[in-house]
Amino acid sequence: MAFKIMLQGTASSVGKSLLVAALCRIFKQDGYSVAPFKSQNMALNSFITDEGLEMGRAQAVQAEAAGIKPSVLMNPILLKPSSDKNCQVILRGRVYDSMDASYYQEFKPKLLSMIKEDFDKLSQSYDIVVIEGAGSPAEINLREKDVVNMGLAELVDSPVLIVGDIDKGGVFASIAGTLLLLNDDERERVKGVIINKFRGDLEILKPGLKMLEDIIKKDVIGVVPYTDVYVDEEDSATDAYYGRKSGGAIDIAILNLPHISNFTDFEPLKKIQDVNVKYVNKGEKIGDCDVLIIPGTKNTIGDLKALKDARLHHEILNLRKMGKLIIGICGGYQMLGKRILDPQHIEGPVSEMEGLGLLDVETVISHEKITTQVKSQISDDLPDFLSPIKGLFVNGYEIHMGISSTGEKSFSNIITRNDEKISVSDGCVSSDGKVFGTYMHGIFENTEFTRRLVNILRSSKGLKDIDYIEDYRKFKEREYDRLADVVRKSLDINKIYQIMKGSI
Digit-coded pLDDT (tens) for 441-479: 999 999 999 999 999 999 999 999 999 999 998 999 999
Percent of the chain, pLDDT > 90? 83
- pLDDT band with cut points at 50, 70 and 90 for residue 408: confident
Nearest partner of 323 among 347, 273, 358, judged by Cα: 358
Q: What is the DSSP string of 314-348?
A: HHHHHHHHTT-EEEEETHHHHHHSSEEE-TT-SSS
- pLDDT band with cut points at 50, 70 and 90 for residue 234: low
Task: Choose between 419 and 242: higher pLDDT.
Answer: 419
d(CA 337, CA 442): 21
d(CA 465, CA 164): 46
- pLDDT band with cut points at 50, 70 and 90 for residue 246: low
With 90 as the cut, is the pLDDT of residue 417 above it? yes
pLDDT at 126: 98
Percent of the chain, pLDDT > 70? 97
Task: Choose between 239 and 283: higher pLDDT.
Answer: 283
d(CA 168, CA 338): 45
**330 classed as catalytic:** yes
pLDDT at 55: 95
d(CA 262, CA 265): 6
Of 24, 330, 400, 428, catalytic: 330
**441 classed as catalytic:** yes
pLDDT at 240: 42
pLDDT at 247: 67
With 80 as the cut, is the pLDDT of residue 83 above it? no
Listed as own residue / partner, the contacts of 176-179 with beta carbons closer than 8 Å and 24 or more positions apart are 176/212, 176/215, 176/216, 177/10, 177/138, 178/10, 178/136, 178/137, 178/138, 179/216, 179/218
Q: What angle do CA 164, 168, 172 make, to 5 degrees?
A: 45
Residue 454, phi then psi, degrees to nearest 5: -60, -40
Least confident of 76-85, 230-239, 360-369: 230-239
How many other C-beta atoms lie within 10 A of the C-beta of residue 168? 13
With 80 as the cut, is the pLDDT of residue 322 above it? yes
> Average pLDDT, stretch 245-253?
82
Domains 3-232+477-500 and 250-462 equal at CATH topology level = yes
Fold of 250-462: Rossmann fold (3.40.50)
d(CA 195, CA 193): 7
Q: What's the pLDDT tens digit per position in 343-367?
A: 998 888 899 999 999 999 999 998 8
Q: What angle do CA 83, 263, 67 make, to 5 degrees?
A: 115
With 80 as the cut, is the pLDDT of residue 236 above it? no
pLDDT, averaged across the chain: 93
pLDDT at 363: 95
d(CA 419, CA 416): 5
pLDDT at 44: 84
Are 195 and 171 contacting, i.e. CB atoms less than 8 angstroms apart? yes
pLDDT at 245: 54
Q: What's the pLDDT tens digit per position in 120-167?
A: 999 999 999 999 999 999 999 988 899 999 999 999 999 999 999 999
pLDDT at 412: 96
pLDDT at 235: 54
Of 24, 289, 400, 441, catalytic: 441
Q: What is the CA radius of gyration of the chain?
A: 23
d(CA 221, CA 7): 12
d(CA 60, CA 75): 9
Are 185 and 213 contacting, i.e. CB atoms less than 8 angstroms apart? no
Domain spans of the chain, in order of start:
3-232+477-500, 250-462
Element (H, E) at 88: strand 86-91
With 70 as the cut, is the pLDDT of residue 336 above it? yes
* CATH 3.20.20.140 for domain 3-232+477-500: no
Q: What's the pLDDT tens digit per position in 365-384?
A: 988 889 999 999 999 999 99
How many other C-beta atoms lie within 10 A of the C-beta of residue 274? 13
Are 476 and 65 contacting, i.e. CB atoms less than 8 angstroms apart? no
Q: What's the pLDDT tens digit per position in 90-103?
A: 999 999 998 988 99
